[in-house]
Amino acid sequence: MTGRSDVGETVTTLLIADDDEVTRSGLRTLLAAQPGIEVVGEAADGVEAVERARRLRPDVVLMDVRMPRRNGIEATRQLLAESAESDESADPTGPPKVVVITTFENDDYVTAALSAGAAGFVLKRFPVRQIAEAVRVVAAGEAILFPTALRRMVAARPLDSAAALPRAALTGREEEVLRLMATGLSNPEIAESLTVSLETVKTHVGNVLTKLGAQNRTHAVVIAYESGLVVPGFTG
């Protein structure tokens, strides 16, 4: 669980799930050396990922998608479904955030993982500092990750939740906030853009997620692109 180090730095706990031992070991070594990241465990497949996430309660799971026994999509779906069904008082921290790590940004598995509730994705070829920053950002629940790549993915292969937006009855302001979320803006940046308070933005974002039935900001933005509210190339 997120905590603070002896020097007052926020620490994000991380579980790494990847079936390739060399990749997994390399990620652990490199990410453990990054400030604010504590690697608390590893998993070699989706079954282990779910079991160890239950036991270790990391803030974030860095989840490969193509794994034996249970792939990262099903593991993500199970983690989030179990959390939704569990007693909140038993685990007040909520479910871990899932960041998909993959080789190709147009991988069909990635789109399915985002639909299952993953908070974002990174590419294995990214510099370790960028992967570490993605882990921190997702743990904080703030900004959408890599909106340009997400736009390309959604444009190429829509997911299955496009009908959510017409049913959601978003207000004009909520649609405006959703469009700005789709450009990758954080809550403070949206507040500045709209000249409103941060608390007002948080309220609007919460309403958007609830009305869309979205797992997280990433899922809400995917729905925005699928539905046509936002089109690839939109910049706000």
Q: How far apart are CA 155 and CA 55, in angstroms?
A: 38
What are the DSSP E strand ranges found in the chain? 3-4, 10-17, 37-43, 60-64, 97-102, 120-123
Indicate the DSSP class of residue 205: H
Q: What average pLDDT does this structure show over 51-76?
A: 92
As a whole number, the mean pLDDT across the chain is 82
pLDDT band at 92 (very low <50, low <70, confident <90, very high): low
Give residue-wise pLDDT tens across range 197-226. Answer: 999 999 999 999 999 888 788 888 878 877
The DSSP secondary structure of 106-160, one letter per residue, reads T-HHHHHHHHHT--EEEETTS-HHHHHHHHHHHHHT-SPS-HHHHHHHHHHS--S
pLDDT score of 28 more than 90: yes
How far, in Å, CA of 192 to CA of 174, rounded?
15
Q: Is the dihedral of CA 167, 168, 173, 176 positive or negative?
A: negative
Average pLDDT value for residue range 22-48 = 95
Residue type present at position 162: A
Spatial distance between the Cα atoms of 143 and 76, rounded to a whole number of angstroms? 20
| Per-residue CA distances from 214 to 22, 81, 131, 153, 220 (Å) | 35, 13, 24, 18, 5
More confident residue, 166 or 75: 75
**Kind and range of the H or E run holding 193:** helix 187-194
- Reported as type and span, the H/E element at residue 166 is helix 164-168
The reported pLDDT for the residue numbered 89 is 45
Give residue 115's pLDDT. Answer: 77
Chain center to CA of 94 = 14
DSSP secondary structure letter of residue 212: H
- For residues 184-193, give the mean pLDDT: 88
Residue % of the chain over a pLDDT of 90: 41
pLDDT confidence of residue 94: 74
- 146 vs 169, residue with greater confidence: 169
Of 36 and 137, the one with more pLDDT: 36
